[in-house]
Amino acid sequence: MDRRRYVMMTSLLLIVLYNLDAVNSDQVEKQLIEDIMMNYSKLERPIPNHLDTLVVNIKFTLQQIVDVDERNQIITTNAWLDLKWKDYRWRWNKTEYGNITKIRIPYIHMWTPDILLYNSADKNFDPTTHSPIVIDHNGNCLYVPPGIFKSTCKIDVSNFPFDEQQCTLKFGVWSYNGNQVDLQLQPGGGIDATEYIESGEWHLMDLKAKRNTHKYKCCPEYYVDVTFTVTLRRRTMFFIINLVVPCILNSILTLLTFVLPAGAAEKVTLAITVLLAQIVFMLLIMETMPPTSDAIPLISKYFACSLVTVCASVAGTVLVLSFYYASPLIDGRMSPSMRSFFLVHAPKLLRMNPYIPKVLTAAETKPSTNQAKRKSVKPNVVARCLDRKIIQPKQDTRIYPKVKAREKYHDVFFDALNAVDGKSPYKVRPMTNGSTGNTKSHLISNHGQNHHLITTRVRLESNENNEDSQKNNSHHRIKDTYFDIEDVSVILKEPNERQKDIERQQSTSTDNHVTKIPCSCKDRSKALRKFISDENSTLDEILSDLRRINKRKEEDELFGEISLEWQYASRVLDKILLWVFILFVVVATLSTLFAVPNLEHVFM
């Protein structure tokens, strides 16, 4: 029991002694602060003489580049300021106050220099966090306010995305002039980047500080500020992969529009698709760049060249298609100079297969024989018809109904052909009078074809009428002339009917005889003239149709030749535009690449 009491008393004594020591320590620091603050005013500059100048040393410690907003031209940095000055009223003898060498006084209880960021873009203007001030027994004050500083920065986009930016942070005493508070850089340059955290977008190239003095129009005194300059270089790999390479590939796709044949239906579609893709990339650049007219970004220049290239490719594609689908009726033939260039000289320069024209039609090389005037068939080819003897089989009205219907037509038709140009393929042979009795009408079947050869003996006796002889007072002898006219007529019959005709012809071939058909010379001559006139009109229509068909065929061949020339010219134009655009794309790409400053650091 006594032992337990002893332990409790010992523990209580130790607690009391500890509390007494703590109270004693707090009392010393409290006494120190009360003694200093007794006659202290934070509204007063900490100098013994008001004519003296208080020196404030500043150092800028950079932690991180948070963001560079090119569009709004704002740079955001994480940093803190290191401010030092001397306050003579905060001095004490450390031996009198329990060897206390440093104390910390809240910001609101002390005088501090009103240092602000002149080019601040923050709505609060003063973004610092006011930390306590550390004071030692010699009166040296240390004030380190951290903050996220948003400052304006003039962004130079002329070399974007291969650019370097210099942004400044201008700090100065706002209400005291240089004679009252002199802002100086701390020894060592006033900058510190040992704790800097690397940015994924920007590479820190340099950090420097400079003290400046300015006289403003408002005040005769000069004011002091310290400007910290941060030099940054953009890391370009992101933009190369996501902007530059797609733009180059898009330009290559532009070249493919001239490789695609003109006959392909997707030629214009490909060109317009590439144009739309180029516009999308331009919109991405516009969203990134500030709306300024001071400078044009380097990548915007390249994109503009690419856009011009794509637009020109669309126009070139339309021109190529207009060549390919040129109409001979509307566009006609190419001029001699165009034909010489597109069909002769350009293919040689481009090492293309030469153009081999088709054999030109007769209508193009020489005047057509069809253009010559055909002699009209005159009705007086046969002056007078004295008699017509038709050698026919006895049963011709029963066996040859179709032959009789066409016999009259063929006789005069081929006589008319002979009278027109003398080039009829049907032969007319004069025969003697003694041969009439030996003539036979026969029907030949030509190897199963529906062609039948009809031989007709016609005796045309030319005699002079008594009335005509009285009028003309002349006598003429009667001349009997016999002509053997071979005519090929197409008579379509059934096979069994054709076989029966052949058998009947063979059985009655020996019974053919000459039948005389007397006729009046005057009436027959008039009827014959009328018949020849009608047949002449029919022949004119047939020949006109033949000429029209021949002319149409010649025109089709000529139009095909002209269309082929236009299509070959479109292919040549495709090749020309392909090489022109290749040259333009290569020159634009190399010019942009060599315009990049510090090219060796692009891929860093």
Residue 533 lies in a domain: no
Inter-residue contact 450 to 489 (CB < 8 Å): no
Shared domain check, 27 and 62: no
Predicted local distance difference test score (pLDDT) of residue 350: 87
Band of residue 579 on the pLDDT scale cut at 50, 70, 90: very high
Q: Residue 58 corresponds to which tokens in the numbers above?
A: 């500043």
Question: With left for phi above 0 and alpha for psi between -120 and 50, is residue 139 left, alpha or beta?
Answer: left
pLDDT score for 266: 83
Q: How far apart are CA 353 and CA 347, in angstroms?
A: 7
pLDDT value of residue 398: 41
The SS3 call for residue 107 is: helix
Beta carbons within 10 angstroms of residue 224's beta carbon:
20
Mean local confidence (pLDDT), 454-464: 36
Q: From 490, 518, 546, give the residue that closes a domain.
A: 518
| 276 domain residue, yes or no | yes
pLDDT for the residue 159: 86
**Nearest CA-CA partner of 146 in 132, 165, 136, 158:** 132
Q: Domain boundary residue among 235, 254, 275?
A: 235
- 550 band by pLDDT with thresholds 50, 70 and 90: confident
Q: Which two tokens stand for residue 12?
A: 């209580």
Please report which confidence band the pLDDT of residue 67 belongs to, taking 50, 70 and 90 as the band edges. Answer: very high
Would the pLDDT of 411 be above 80? no
Most confident of 150-154, 216-220, 238-242, 516-520: 150-154
E strands along 174-307, which residues? 181-185, 191-192, 202-215, 222-234
pLDDT computed for residue 36 by the predictor: 87
What's the pLDDT at 299?
A: 85
The pTM of the full predicted model, rounded to 2 decimals, is 0.59
Token reading at 84: 């030092």
* Mean per-residue pLDDT, 293-315: 87
Stretch 541-553: mean pLDDT, rounded?
86
For the four alpha carbons of 422, 424, 425 and 430, in that order, the dihedral sign comes to negative
Amino acid, single-letter form, for residue 107: Y
Q: Which residue has the higher pLDDT, 547 or 24?
A: 547
Give the separation between CA 491 and CA 459, rounded to whole angstroms. 25
Give the model's pLDDT for residue 475. 39
Q: What is the pLDDT of residue 185?
A: 94
Which of 227-241, 384-398, 400-414, 508-522 is predicted least confidently? 384-398
- Reported confidence tier of residue 601, pLDDT bands at 50, 70, 90: low
Q: Which domain holds residue 34?
A: 1-39
pLDDT at 28: 87
Is 74 in the same domain as 223? yes
Q: How many domains does the chain have?
A: 4
260: pLDDT strictly greater than 90: no
Q: How confident is the model at residue 54 (pLDDT cuts 50, 70, 90)?
A: very high
Question: How confident is the model at residue 86, as a pLDDT?
Answer: 93
* Residue 582: predicted pLDDT: 93
Q: Is residue 527 part of a domain?
A: no
How far, in Å, CA of 459 to CA of 432, rounded? 11
19 within some domain: yes
Same domain, 408 and 342: no
**DSSP 8-state symbol, 82:** E
The whole-chain average pLDDT of the chain stands at 74
Using the predicted structure, report yes or no on whether residue 315 has a pLDDT greater than 60. yes
Predicted local distance difference test score (pLDDT) of residue 372: 38
Q: How confident is the model over 465-493, as pLDDT tens digits?
A: 444 444 444 333 333 333 333 333 333 34
Reduce the DSSP state of residue 133 to 3 states and report it. strand
Name the domain boundary from 518, 548, 569. 518
Same domain? 225 vs 246: no
Over 60: is that where the pLDDT of 109 sits?
Answer: yes
Over 80: is that where the pLDDT of 430 sits?
A: no
Pair 541, 374: CB distance under 8 Å: no
Give the range with max mean pLDDT: 144-153, 213-222, 276-285: 144-153
Q: In this structure, are 59 and 169 located in the same domain?
A: yes
**pLDDT over 70 (residue 545):** yes
Indicate if 227 and 80 belong to the same structural domain. Answer: yes
Q: Is residue 448 predicted with pLDDT exceeding 60?
A: no
Residue 574 lies in a domain: yes
219 with 99, same domain? yes
Residue 381 forms part of a structural domain: no
Kindly state whether residue 537 falls inside one of the protein's structural domains: no
Q: What gap in Å lies between CA 597 and CA 156, rounded to an integer? A: 13
Residue 124 corresponds to which tokens in the numbers above?
Answer: 């609060």
Confidence of residue 71 (pLDDT cuts 50, 70, 90): confident
Same domain, yes or no, for 130 and 200?
yes
Q: Is there a single domain that holds both residue 246 and residue 102?
A: no
- DSSP, collapsed to helix, strand or coil, labels residue 450 as coil
| Rounded CA separation 535/385 (Å) | 17
Higher pLDDT, 117 or 450: 117
pLDDT band at 2 (very low <50, low <70, confident <90, very high): low
pLDDT category, 124, cuts 50, 70, 90?
Answer: confident
CA–CA dist 402, 545 (Å, integer) = 26
pLDDT at 488: 37
Per-residue burial over 370-396, b if 16 or more Cβ lie within 10 Å, else e, is beeeeeebebeeebbbbbbbbbbbeeb
Highest average pLDDT, of 171-180, 534-543, 557-566, comes from: 171-180
DSSP annotation of 360 reads P
Q: Are 303 and 286 in contact (CB under 8 A)?
A: no
CA 515 and chain centroid, separation: 87
**Over 90: is that where the pLDDT of 144 sits?**
yes
Q: Is 210 left (phi over 0), alpha (psi -120 to 50) or beta?
A: beta
What is the dihedral sign for C-alpha 281, 287, 291, 295?
Answer: negative
Tell me the angle at which helices 521-594 and 401-421 cross, rounded to the nearest 10 degrees.
70
For the chain, what is the total number of helices (H) and then of strands (E)? 13, 17
- Nearest Cα neighbor of 306 from 290, 340, 282 is 282
CA distances from 203 to 76, 147, 237, 246 (A): 15, 21, 12, 25
Res 453: pLDDT: 35
Q: What is the pLDDT of residue 425?
A: 43
Predicted local distance difference test score (pLDDT) of residue 399: 38
Of residues 282 and 599, more confidently modeled: 282
CA dist., res. 37 & res. 39, Å (int): 6
* CATH number, residue 246: 1.20.58.390
Main-chain phi, psi angles of 391, to 5 degrees: -90, 115
**pLDDT band at residue 504 under the 50/70/90 scheme:** low
CATH code, domain with 73: 2.70.170.10
pLDDT at residue 560, rounded to an integer: 84
Neighbouring residues of 198: CB distance < 8 A, sequence distance ≥ 6: 204
pLDDT band at 37 (very low <50, low <70, confident <90, very high): confident
Q: Note the pLDDT of residue 141.
A: 95
Shared domain check, 488 and 474: yes
**Cα–Cα distance for residue pair 231/174, rounded to 1 Å:** 26
Instruction: Give every CB contact of residue 467 below 8 A, 6+ residues apart in sequence.
Output: none
In a domain? residue 531: no
> Which of these ranges, 130-139, 250-259, 420-429, has the smallest mean pLDDT?
420-429
Asked if 264 contacts 45 with a C-beta cutoff of 8 angstroms, the reply is: no
Please give the structure tokens belonging to residue 587.
């020159």
Question: Averaged over 24-53, what is the pLDDT?
Answer: 84
- The confidence band for 146, taking pLDDT boundaries of 50, 70 and 90, is very high
Higher pLDDT, 345 or 443: 345
- Within 38-160, residue ranges assigned H as helices are none
Which range has the worst mean pLDDT, 102-106, 273-277, 394-398? 394-398
In DSSP notation, 504-570 reads: HHHHHGGG-EEEEEE--HHHHHHHHHHHHHHHHHHHHHHHHHHHHHHHHHHHHHHHHHHHHHHHHHH
| Amino acid (one-letter) located at 546 | L
> Residues 80-99: pLDDT tens digits?
999 999 999 889 998 988 88
| Res 226: pLDDT | 95
pLDDT at position 303, please? 87
Same domain (yes/no): 198, 119: yes
pLDDT band at 133; cut points 50, 70, 90: very high
Cα separation values, 31 from 17, 23, 110, 359, 561, Å: 21, 12, 17, 123, 116
343 and 565 in contact (C-beta within 8 Å)?
yes
Q: Are residues 70 and 164 in the same domain?
A: yes
